[in-house]
Amino acid sequence: MSSPNQAELRRRIENGSRDAEDYKSLASLLYNAGHFPESVALLEAALDLALDDVKRADVLVILGWHANNVDNNVEEAKQLGKRAIALLPNPESADARLTKAFAESLVAQCARHSDDSLAAQSASEALRLFDEVTAQRPGRAARPWTISLERAALHLILGRSDLAVEECKTACDTATTKVELLSAWTELGSAYRAEGLLREAGESFRAAIDCGQDLPAGVVRVYYELASVERSLDKLPEARAKLQKARSILREVPAAPQGYLTDVIRDIAEISRDLGDYEEASKSFAALVECYGDIDPMRWASMRCLAQCQLELKEFELARSVLQSVIQSPSAPIEDREAAKDELLTVRLLSAKTSYESNDYLSCIRECEAILPLMSGKTWLAETLLLLGHSNVAMGQKQKAKQFYEETIAAPYALDRQVAMARECLARI
């Protein structure tokens, strides 16, 4: 059921409101409730109004953050920021400077991982504009909490983590709501982490979680960041627990930032593998595969990781099927296809070894003979020949066994222990 505030805003817009603030306010309420498509549609409708350049740029910046946070579309967000900047080439008023500063900050934060030069240029320009606005409005320090957090993010881009820490502390001091305090503690944790102060970072993230107990959508990033800190401290079980909490929220809360889901699942998979929990790792890598499209290289790398976990669980047929899918897909990068071919040989060899250990010598011989032509020049050739020798001895085929032991001794890359075993077995025949 809509709140009175939301209902009133809807009524105004339905009655033909031309005030961009009505659209922005309702879009914000819908965004916080997880109704992202309707929120975006309202902001796009606001762009059809007769807006001045400052208000139009402001809407473009908000749309940019929607594209970044909801769709994880960094490029679209960056382009929206650039459109906003282009509307304000020479801002004169404090509002115009502030809006352009936020637009430059959006571009800087979107470009930080792809274009260092653009990120640094936009970050420096945003900081300059924020300084001008603060000087222009000395009595009320326009939107101090917001500006402090923006400045912190910009200082991090420029490698000034110590200044970022100070800005975040200011944001903590000027926050007036739980949401603001949650954001301030989160950014302070990130700044400490950038400084290499992991203990302080962890304390800040825990403080953020404490003040965000009734804001589940807001703590997803906090759990993710805290898990990264604990992982750096080699606290793997604790890190995985935080990631699993984040995953639960993402599954249960529509308003949670779904852009984190892929990274959360990936880290759970990797940590589970490092902990030797191959069952959980296998489930997580399988889920991760579904997060990537066919043309994303990470899909195929994740499939190979999934097969490795299945191999550890001795699920040989499942691992074989996954690796064959990689090998046969024209979308998979050539390096992944070639690596999968070698990994498939490993799966088949270990499958044969398991058959031998369970006294199924005939199955072992069939598998080894099938892969033997593929082992030329491989380090596993001697191991395959030894298995053939052992299985033939068990089957009473001593002459065949002798042949395979002799080939083991002559095999390139044969280890000393493999040669010694072959000689010992030959002596017994």
Task: Tell me the average pLDDT across 225-229.
Answer: 98
Out of 310, 337, 358, a domain closes at: 358
Residue 56 lies in a domain: no
Residue 295 lies in a domain: yes
Regarding whether 382 and 321 lie in a shared domain, the answer is: no
Number of domains in the chain: 2
Query: Cα–Cα distances in Å, from 136 out to 94, 131, 373?
Result: 7, 9, 78
Q: Which amino acid is at 241?
A: A
Residue 399 CA from chain centroid, whole number:
56
Regarding whether 346 and 284 lie in a shared domain, the answer is: yes
Out of 313, 343, 358, a domain closes at: 358
Regarding whether 345 and 379 lie in a shared domain, the answer is: no
Q: Are 369 and 380 in contact (CB under 8 A)?
A: no
pLDDT of residue 1: 41
| 105 closest CA partner among 142, 58, 72 | 58
Residue 405 lies in a domain: yes
Lowest mean pLDDT of 97-106, 132-141, 200-209, 278-287, name the range.
132-141
pLDDT in tens, 235-251: 999 999 999 999 999 99
| 291 closest CA partner among 262, 259, 252 | 262
pLDDT of residue 255: 78
How many C-beta neighbours within 10 Å does residue 283 have?
17
- Domain limits for position 322: 276-358
Regarding whether 352 and 414 lie in a shared domain, the answer is: no
Q: Return all residues near 159 (Cβ < 8 A) that are at least 6 apart.
A: none
Q: Is the pLDDT of residue 141 over 70?
A: no
**Which helix H or strand E contains 120, and what residues bound it?**
helix 116-136
By the 10 Å C-beta count (0-12 exposed, 13-18 middle, 19+ buried), 165 is classed as buried
Residue 2 lies in a domain: no
Residue 62 lies in a domain: no
Regarding whether 339 and 367 lie in a shared domain, the answer is: no
Determine phi and psi for 384, rounding to 5 degrees: -65, -45
Assigned token pair, 388: 């053939």
Regarding whether 340 and 283 lie in a shared domain, the answer is: yes
Out of 302, 334, 358, a domain closes at: 358
> Strand runs (DSSP E) across 28-112, as ranges?
none
pLDDT in tens, 342-370: 999 999 999 999 999 999 999 999 999 99
Regarding whether 331 and 370 lie in a shared domain, the answer is: no
Runs of H (alpha helix) within 137-177: 144-157, 161-174
By the 10 Å C-beta count (0-12 exposed, 13-18 middle, 19+ buried), 382 is classed as buried
Which position has the token pair 């300084």? 131
Regarding whether 407 and 423 lie in a shared domain, the answer is: yes
Q: How confident is the model at residue 139 (pLDDT cuts 50, 70, 90)?
A: very low
Residue 44 lies in a domain: no
How many C-beta neighbours within 10 Å does residue 199 have?
10
Regarding whether 369 and 350 lie in a shared domain, the answer is: no
Residue 345 lies in a domain: yes
Assigned token pair, 224: 């993710």
pLDDT in tens, 173-202: 999 889 899 999 999 999 999 999 999 999
Residue 86 lies in a domain: no
What 3 state SS string does 179-241 have? HHHHHHHHHHHHHHHHHCCHHHHHHHHHHHHHHCCCCHHHHHHHHHHHHHHHHHCCCHHHHHH
Assigned token pair, 125: 């320009």
Q: How confident is the model at residue 142 (pLDDT cuts 50, 70, 90)?
A: low
Q: How far apart are CA 379 and CA 381, in angstroms?
A: 6
Regarding whether 429 and 368 lie in a shared domain, the answer is: yes
Q: How confident is the model at residue 5 (pLDDT cuts 50, 70, 90)?
A: confident
HSE, CB side, 13 Å, CA atoms: give it for residue 47: 14
| Rama region for 292: left / alpha / beta (φ>0; ψ in -120 to 50; rest) | beta
Regarding whether 371 and 351 lie in a shared domain, the answer is: no
Query: Cα–Cα distances in Å, from 296 out to 257, 332, 350?
Result: 21, 8, 30
